[in-house]
Structure 1
Amino acid sequence: MTISIVSLRSLFVSIGMIHLSTAALGTLVSLRIADSGGSQEAASFVAASYSMGFLLGCFFIFRPLARIGHIRAFAASAALCSLCALLLSISENTFVLIAARFATGLATASLYSIGDAWINDSAPANSRGRILSIYYIVLGVTSVASQAFIILFSGDLSEAFVMMSALYSIAIIVLVPTRTSPPSVPAHAQLRLIASFRESPTAFIGVFVNGFVLALLLTVLPYQASVAGMSANMIAFVVAAFYLGRILFQFPIGHASDRMDRRYMIAAMSLSAALTVMILSIASRNEGFTIAGESGLVLQVVMIIGSVFLGGLIMPLYSVLVAHAMDRTVPVYVGATAVTLLFVYTVGSVVGPIFGGIGSLLGSDRAVQWMCWVLMLVAGMFTVVRLKMRESVPHAEAASGVAASPTSVSISPETKRPEQSRF
């Protein structure tokens, strides 16, 4: 038991370093493309390449890689991420960026899958929920902290990429000496695309839209803000505020959703997010954030507060959608449904930047913002329609305490009775 706890502590530190780098690189790459004079289409396709790599790594690469040993696979994946970070520090070529981000996505999927499988195997049954809660808090806190590197190295982004490479190396150093039995590699879970859609079209469409919109908000919009004249420091504050919203809203939203038909919560979150996107889009038309003085400061405050609310609405939505799907799923198919929804979410994160790039080519750079607004509005209205078409699940039969994060297929959501909720 003591060895297990020590190994989990080492794992949390290593995964914290990995997530710190992953979240920071999403912003850094967008800023790098903007600084080098790259187009929005380039920023969009680079973002899509990372998501495509993550998709392939999560569903097709992880299991063969894990057979060489979980620690060796972890070290190899982290080393690849470190190498790609160094490559990003010295090159501005779009094709190099696409290749480096694709490889980073592959390796990052393996890192999260190994970490999730490790937690799944090592966490004692009587404290698994508490350990998972700590794990997700670690992910949330490091997401916020990651933006500090943009502020610290805003004068020279190349140095920031070198620091990200160092963090990957630290993750290897912390984890490699750990003594632990290898976690079991989860069996391949069959995708239930048609069945999952029939059981819960609200969750199916919702996770796709969630992945689509989040990919645009976290990768393409920082590029747009930089081109419009927003400083790297301000962009970092806005992105950090977005991640902070998840920390502040995740558990209250999950707790509240356990006590109602989750579709009311999904509709409220989607429509509120659409309204927030619209307000921020209209506000940012006036590039007041580039103007020194009171008007610029007011708009900066609006952007930061709006980002907290937007992140608090969109980022926890995935957990609520998965929980809603669990309400409609026969227990034997819970794991397969969770994997299916992760797949759909990841496909959305691939398609989102691609459509964002096409939209900017055919229309204007603001097509991305309106795309986010329309999709969140449509998802919210679709949920409202479904409320009228289908009765709610009886409260006694509903799942609760579903801890879900779009990181890998290695942690299956747990379902418990409402009185045992641990959101």
Structure 2
Amino acid sequence: MLGVLGNSWALLLGMLFLMVGNGLQGSLLGVRGADAGFSAGTMSIIMSAYFAGFLFASRMAPAMIRRVGHVRVFAALGSFISAVLILFPALQHPAAWVLGRFVLGFCFCGVYVTAESWLNNTASNDTRGQTLSAYMIVQMAGIIAAQGLLLVPDASGFLLFIIPSVLVSISFAPILLSISPTPAFESTKRMTLKELYGISPLGMVGIFLLGGVFAAQFGMAAVYATEAGMTLSQISIFISAFYVGALVMQYPLGWISDRVDRRGLITVVAAVGAAASCVAIASGSFGMIASMAFVIGGCSNPLYSLLIAYTNDLMDVEDMAAASAGLLFINGVGAIAGPLIIGYLMQLVAPWAFFALIAGLLALVSVYALYRMTQRPAPSVEDTGAYAPLAPQGSLIAVEAAQEYFIEQSEEEEEE
């Protein structure tokens, strides 16, 4: 791990600042939207726009990079991010915020694609797994740290928007001034969703449902907390709990997944997350709600990596890169729909509908995984590949890097 930090510290430091900026803007808009008088339904459209922009950029960013290069794309998109963040408090209108969130989603996706390309290029066969781990830790740590900034006094109303703008601007320096060579960017062949479903129905359905869960955590958690009457300090703890749980549980569940039928583990983990959501609905205690957020995050985020690892187990090596684009696309569609449904239900029923939808989505993952266990025999543990930790906030490049790690580990095992 020290070798990875030595080779990639500039990239990782830049990504840390980026994630702090991104994590803060999502939570801050959820809080300020209520102050501006926006309803839960309106906020759901605003939050969903980020994921629409992210999904659109996942298709556009590779072409942009091939046309003008990594450095120009990174600098241009980063500049847009800084500008949009400052405009939010000045343009407090739902339409302006929807457009701003769409632009942020587009730009952050392009920035992630660029940075992850550099990061993957610095990794060797021996360090790719450690590089992915370091990257995921940086992503989670950045989002967790961002929640603490919510407590900074902001009498003017602009300061908390200026902070992420400055952090994003600062993040360019260590990345653009590092000596890392610009990697080649190659396009991969596409796999249709029908072909992907034929190979791994559980992978495709599970990733789609998890898209809604991730969007709830990343986009609507602050909206729920505000609607539920939490204080700023409670909102900060509540949102952080999701990502602390994700960070703590990623590696134990990954270790277990390399030794058992992954479908069984997916069934159990999703069921635990659904049960925790039900407990959060029934509880009136903030401490219990925050504890259940820790459990939900600790279940849902590793499920993302588990489903990708399980899908890889069923694929030929040459098809993995093509499948990654399909997995990211279907996850993005779920992420767009998630906030819209949650916002509608919160406005129609009550704030606790936030947890109700998470419970329903995770329960569906669990039930469908259990059903799939009756339809196909499990691959032997010896034939399964290595688990690679991934955060749902990453782009296509991170998923492809995880699949490269899967291939490299499989080849090493065959040689041994």
Q: Distance in 1 between matches of 2:281 and 2:191?
A: 37
Contact between 1:206 and 1:321, CA under 8 Å: does it hold in 2?
yes
**CA shift digits 1:185-230 (9 cap, x unpaired):** 1314403311211221111111111111121233223212212311
Q: Which amino acid aligns with 1:383?
A: A
State the match for 2:140 in structure 1. Answer: 140
**CA shift digits 1:140-195 (9 cap, x unpaired):** 21121111111224666531111000001101233232333211113144033112
Equivalent in 288, 299, 308 of residue 294 of structure 2: 308
Distance change (3 Å), C-alpha of 1:13 and 1:357:
same
Q: Distance in 2 between matches of 1:176 and 1:53?
A: 24
State the match for 1:410 in structure 2. Answer: 397
Distance change (3 Å), C-alpha of 1:144 and 1:271:
same
Q: Distance in 1 between matches of 2:331 and 2:220?
A: 17
Contact between 1:7 and 1:179, CA under 8 Å: does it hold in 2?
no
Q: Distance in 1 between matches of 2:43 and 2:59?
A: 25
Alignment of 1:189-228 (within 5 A): 189-228=189-228
The aligned length equals 403
State the match for 1:34 in structure 2. Answer: 34
Distance change (3 Å), C-alpha of 1:132 and 1:220:
closer
Alignment of 1:100-249 (within 5 A): 100-153=100-153, 158-249=158-249
Contact between 1:81 and 1:168, CA under 8 Å: does it hold in 2?
yes
Alignment of 1:240-319 (within 5 A): 240-283=240-283, 286=284, 299-319=285-305
Q: Distance in 2 between matches of 1:402 and 1:334?
A: 14
Q: Extract unaligned runs of 5+ from structure 1.
A: 287-298
State the match for 2:368 in structure 1. Answer: 382
TM-score of the two chains, using structure 1 as the length reference: 0.90
Q: Distance in 1 between matches of 2:372 and 2:131?
A: 35
Q: Distance in 2 between matches of 1:410 and 1:357?
A: 31
> How many angstroms does 1:390 deviate by?
1.5
Q: Distance in 2 between matches of 1:267 and 1:306?
A: 18
> How many angstroms does 1:332 deviate by?
1.1
What do you get for the CA RMSD once the two structures are aligned?
2.1
**CA shift digits 1:362-406 (9 cap, x unpaired):** 555544432221121121111111112211011221111334343
Deviates more, 1:213-222 or 1:365-374: 365-374
Q: Extract unaligned runs of 5+ from structure 2.
A: none
Contact between 1:89 and 1:162, CA under 8 Å: does it hold in 2?
no
Q: Distance in 2 between matches of 1:217 and 1:184?
A: 34
Q: Distance in 2 between matches of 1:401 and 1:221?
A: 28
Q: Distance in 1 between matches of 2:291 and 2:347?
A: 31
TM-score of the two chains, using structure 2 as the length reference: 0.91
Q: Distance in 2 between matches of 1:316 and 1:155?
A: 39
Distance change (3 Å), C-alpha of 1:10 and 1:310:
same
Contact between 1:18 and 1:167, CA under 8 Å: does it hold in 2?
yes
Contact between 1:242 and 1:309, CA under 8 Å: does it hold in 2?
yes
Identity of matched residues, %:
24
Q: Distance in 1 between matches of 2:156 and 2:306?
A: 40
State the match for 2:81 in structure 1. Answer: 81
Deviates more, 1:124-133 or 1:260-269: 124-133
Distance change (3 Å), C-alpha of 1:419 and 1:385:
farther
Q: Distance in 2 between matches of 1:228 and 1:244?
A: 22
